[in-house]
A and B are shown apart, each in its own frame.
Chain A
C-alpha cells in the first residue's frame, strides 16, 4: 500500500524525507489503515490489533493499571526536572527546594505534580491490586504476573519512602527516623540493617545520598524493568481477564484502534487534568528545615506507612514490624498458588455469593477494627492484666493468635453460612485484612493527635 508512495522517484526531497520517517498513513481512513498503524508503530505495536469487546468497558478495570503507568511517567518527567535543582546534602537540600519554589518559573508546580503523582500512584496501585483480587485475575497464565505486580507495588513504596526524606523538612526527617526506627526491632540483624539503611548511626548527608541514589537511579531502573515484564505478561496472557459469560464461544472482538486507544487517551487526559488541578490548588508543602533536636508532636510516618505505626501502638514491635507484615506478604504472594476447587475469574466479586461475602468482610473490618482499637486503648492493658508474662507474649503472640483465630473463624463462617466456594472465601479473607489495614491507616492519619492519643479529626 505504502510501497508505491515511498518509492516515487519524482517526489520532492521533503516528501521523500517525510516518507522515510512515516512510512504509512498517519490519519487512518479505513480499518486496514488502522491495523497497519498499530502493527507498525513502535509504541502501539506492543498492543494487539483486536481486543475482546467485553474487556474494554471502563467499569471492567477502571483503567487503574494504565493510570498507574501514566503517574509513573509523570513522576519520571517531573523528577528529572527536580534533579536539576536539588542538592543532596543536609545543608543544601531544604534551601535548594525553597529557592526552586521561590525563584524558578513553575518550580513549585513541577514539585507539586511530583508530590501528587507520588501519592496518587500508591492509591491507584492499591485499587489496581483490589480490582485484580476482586475479578480473580491472578489465576492461570496471570499467576506470576501477580507476583511481578506486587514487586512493582513494593518498588513504588520504596521510591515514595526514599523520596519522602529528600525535602529535609521536619516532617521528612522525623518520618524517616520513625520508619527506620521500626527496622531496629527486626531480631538479630535489626541494628545492622538500620545502620545500612541510614548509612550510619544518625540520619544525615550520608542517608540523603543513599536515598537519593535509590530514589533517582536504582528504584526507577527496577521499575522500568518490572513494568516491561508486567505489560509483556499481560499481553501474553491474552490481555486483561475476560468477564465470564456462560455458554459463550469465541469472544466478539473490536479493533484496538480506535475503540480501546480512545478510551485510554480519555482516561489519561482526565487524570493529567486532575493532577495539575490538585497541584495548583493544593501545592506540596515544604515545612521548616529538619531539626534533629526537636521532634514535632505528633511525629507520624508517611500516610502509606501509618497502618504499621498504628499496629505498633497495639502490638509488640517484633509482631508489628516483622511477624504480621511477613505473614501478610507471604499470604499475598502465595494467593495465586492456593489450590481452589471450582476457581472462578472474570466477573466482579466472582459471583453473587462473592458479592455478598465481600460485603460481609468489609463490614466486619469496618466495625471490628475501630472497636478493637478503642477497647485496646481504654479498656484492657495486657501487660498489666497478665503480670509475669513477657510482653512479647502478652502483647505480641497472644493478640496475634486471637487475630489469626478471627481470620480462620471468618473463613469457616463464610463457607458454612453463605456456602461460599474456596475462591470466594479466600477473597473474603483478603478483603477483611485489607479493610482492617485501611482502617488502621485512616485512624493513624486522621484520629491520632498529640502523643498519638485518639482524637477526633476536628480536634487535632
Chain B
C-alpha cells in the first residue's frame, strides 16, 4: 500500500501537496503574527499623535537671567540660560532610566532621585550611572521670544558649544 511507504519513497505529488500545506500553514501563522504586531505598533495610538509639532513659547529673552534654570512643566523641559547668555532646553528625563530630574538650586545641579545621577547646568553628567548628558529640545529665538520645539528630544553624548542658541 502506498500510505505505508516511507516518506523517502512517497510519490512526488503527495510530497508536493504536503509541502504546500506546510507552506500555507507557515503563511497563515506569519499573517497572525503580523496582525498581532500591527496591533501593538505604537505609532497608531492616540497619545503619540497629539504631541507632534508642539512648540512652546517660553517668553521674552530678558525674562531669563544668565545662569538661571526655569522649569516648564507642560513642555517637560528646563530652559537654561548659561552665564554667557546662551540658551539650552534640557529634557527633564534622566538618561539612565527615565526618572524626572529636579533642579537643586542650592547645589547648582540636576540630581536624579532614582539612582543618584547628577548633571550640571549644561546637562553634562557629573555623577553616573547616567550614560550621557540630558537630552535637548531645539530652541529658536524669534523677535526676542524664546521658542522650544518639544516634538522629540535630541540625544547627545556630552555638552558641545554648538548646542547653545544665542539671542
Contact = CB atoms under 8 A, between A and B. Distances in A.
Interface of A: 174, 177-178, 180-182, 184, 195-196, 198-202, 204-206, 210, 292-299, 312-313, 317, 383, 391, 450-453
B46 A292 contact: no
B40 A202 contact: no
B45 to A, nearest CB: 4
A303 to B, nearest CB: 16
Interface string B107-145: 000011111100000000000110100000000000000
A298 B113 contact: yes
Interface in B4-42: 40-42
B45 A206 contact: yes
B98 to A, nearest CB: 4
A451 B111 contact: yes
B116 A451 contact: yes
Given A180-B98, A293-B100, A317-B129, A451 B45 contact: no
Contacts, number: 87
Q: Which of B42, B98, B101 has the most CB of A within 10 A?
A: B98
Given A178-B97, A299-B99, A201 B48 contact: yes
Nearest to A195: B42
Nearest to B40: A196
A196 B42 CA distance: 6
B162 interface: no
B45 A181 contact: no
Most buried by B among A174, A200, A296: A200
Interface residues of B, number: 28
Contacts of A198: 42
Chain A to chain B: the 7 pairs with minimum beta-carbon distance, closest first: A181-B97, A297-B113, A181-B98, A200-B48, A295-B99, A206-B45, A451-B116
Contact of A295 (B45, B113, B116): B113
Nearest to B99: A295
A453 B98 contact: no
Q: Which of B73, B92, B100, B131 has the most CB of A within 10 A?
A: B100
Interface in B46-82: 46-48, 51, 73, 76
A317 B98 contact: no
Given A200-B42, A293-B73, A177 B99 contact: yes
A181 B101 CA distance: 14
A296 B113 contact: yes
Contacts of B42: 195-196, 198-201, 206
B47 A206 contact: yes
5 contacts: A178-B99, A178-B114, A199-B45, A210-B40, A299-B113
B100 to A, nearest CB: 5
B47 A202 contact: yes
B76 to A, nearest CB: 8
B41 A174 contact: no
